[in-house]
Amino acid sequence: MCGIVGYIGSRNTTEIIIKGLQRLEYRGYDSAGISVFDGENLSLVKCKGKVKELKNLLNSSPVNGNIGMGHTRWATHGEPNDANAHPHMSSSGLFTLIHNGIIENYYSIRKFLTGKGIEFVSDTDTEVLVQFIEYLYLKNNLSFAEAVRSALQKVVGAYGIVVLCKDEPDKLIAARHGSPLVLGIGEGEYFLASDTSPIIEYTRKIVYLDENEMTIIKSDSYEVRNIEEYKVISKEIQNIDYDLEQIEKGGYEHFMLKEIYEQPTSVYESTRGRIDLKKMTVKLGGIENWLTRILDANQIVITACGTSWHAAQIGSYIIEELVNITVKVEYASEFRYRETPIDNNTVVFAISQSGETADTLAAIRKARTMGALSVGIVNVVGSSIARETDCGVYIHAGPEIGVASTKAFTSQVTVLTEIALLLAQKKKLNCKMVKDIIRDFSTITEKIEKVFKQADKIKNIAKDFATSNNFLYLGRGYQFPVALEGALKLKEISYIHAEGYPAAEMKHGPIALIDENMPVLFIVTQRGFDKIMSNIQEVNARGGRIIIITSVDTKRCDEYSDHVIKIPAIHHCISPILTTIPTQLLAYYIAVERGCNVDQPRNLAKSVTVE
What number is the average pLDDT over the span 277-282? 93
* DSSP, res 223: E
What number is the average pLDDT over the span 196-224? 93
**Per-residue confidence at 1, pLDDT binned at 50, 70, 90?**
low
**Per-residue confidence at 556, pLDDT binned at 50, 70, 90?**
confident
Of the listed ranges 49-58, 314-323, 549-558, the least confidently predicted one is: 549-558
Closest CA to 328 of 283, 356, 367: 367
CA 558 → CA 285, 334, 531, distances in Å? 46, 42, 16
From CA 349, how far away is CA 358, in angstroms rounded?
15
Sign of CA dihedral 503, 509, 514, 519: negative
Looking from the CA of 440 toward its CB, the CA atoms found within 13 Å total 22
Q: Which residue has the higher pLDDT, 609 or 236?
A: 236
Sign of CA dihedral 153, 157, 162, 163: negative
Helix axes 125-139, 106-115, angle to 10 degrees: 50
pLDDT at residue 516 in the model: 84
pLDDT at residue 499 in the model: 95
Residue 178 has pLDDT above 90, yes or no: no
What number is the average pLDDT over the span 65-86? 87
Closest CA to 208 of 190, 196, 222, 220: 196
The residues, any chain, with a CB within 8 Å of residue 484's CB and separated by 6 or more, are 310, 313, 473, 500
Q: Are strands 88-89 and 95-103 parallel, antiparallel or unpaired?
A: antiparallel
Q: How large a percentage of the chain has pLDDT more than 90?
A: 76
Domains of the chain: 3-240 (3.60.20.10), 250-442 (3.40.50.10490), 452-605 (3.40.50.10490)
Closest CA to 588 of 245, 259, 251: 259
What number is the average pLDDT over the span 353-375? 93
Q: Which residues are known to be catalytic?
A: 2, 606
Amino acid identity at 473 = Y
What number is the average pLDDT over the span 540-568? 88
Residue 379 has pLDDT above 70, yes or no: yes
Name residue 49's beta-bridge partners.
Answer: none
Contact 142, 96 (CB under 8 A): no
What number is the average pLDDT over the span 491-513? 90
What number is the average pLDDT over the span 405-430? 97
Q: How large a percentage of the chain has pLDDT more than 70?
A: 99
**Per-residue confidence at 175, pLDDT binned at 50, 70, 90?**
very high
Contact 87, 128 (CB under 8 A): no
From CA 381, how far away is CA 94, in angstroms rounded?
37
From CA 117, how far away is CA 120, in angstroms rounded?
10
CA 174 → CA 177, 208, 318, 333, 370, distances in Å? 11, 12, 43, 28, 32
Q: Which residue has the higher pLDDT, 193 or 507?
A: 193
Contact 10, 189 (CB under 8 A): yes
**Per-residue confidence at 477, pLDDT binned at 50, 70, 90?**
very high
What number is the average pLDDT over the span 461-471? 95
In the chain, how many H helices and how many E strands?
Answer: 20, 27
Residue 609 has pLDDT above 70, yes or no: no
Contact 14, 37 (CB under 8 A): no
Residue 553 has pLDDT above 70, yes or no: yes
Closest CA to 402 of 264, 266, 259: 259
From CA 339, how far away is CA 350, in angstroms rounded?
18
pLDDT at residue 610 in the model: 59
**Per-residue confidence at 611, pLDDT binned at 50, 70, 90?**
low
Looking from the CA of 600 toward its CB, the CA atoms found within 13 Å total 17
**Per-residue confidence at 73, pLDDT binned at 50, 70, 90?**
confident
What's the mean pLDDT when you consider all of the chain? 92
Name residue 547's beta-bridge partners.
Answer: 521, 563
Q: Which helix (H) or strand (E) holds 100?
A: strand 95-103
What number is the average pLDDT over the span 299-324? 96
**Count of residues making up the chain:** 611
In the chain, what is the straight-line distance between the N-terminal and C-terminal CA atoms, in Å? Answer: 10
- For every residue of 339-408, DSSP letters joined together read -----TTEEEEEEESSS--HHHHHHHHHHHHTT-EEEEEESSTT-HHHHHSSEEEE-------SSS--HH
Name residue 89's beta-bridge partners.
Answer: 96
Span 230-252, pLDDT tens digits: 999 999 999 988 877 787 888 89
pLDDT at residue 29 in the model: 82
Residue 59 has pLDDT above 80, yes or no: yes
For 569, other C-beta atoms within 10 Å of its C-beta total 16
Span 13-46, pLDDT tens digits: 999 999 999 998 888 788 999 999 988 888 899 9
pTM of the model: 0.88
From CA 92, how far away is CA 262, in angstroms rounded?
51
Contact 220, 229 (CB under 8 A): no
Of the listed ranges 145-159, 174-188, 283-297, 545-559, the least confidently predicted one is: 545-559
Residue 607 has pLDDT above 70, yes or no: no
For 104, list phi and psi in degrees, rounded to 5: -70, -30
Span 77-97, pLDDT tens digits: 778 888 999 999 999 999 999
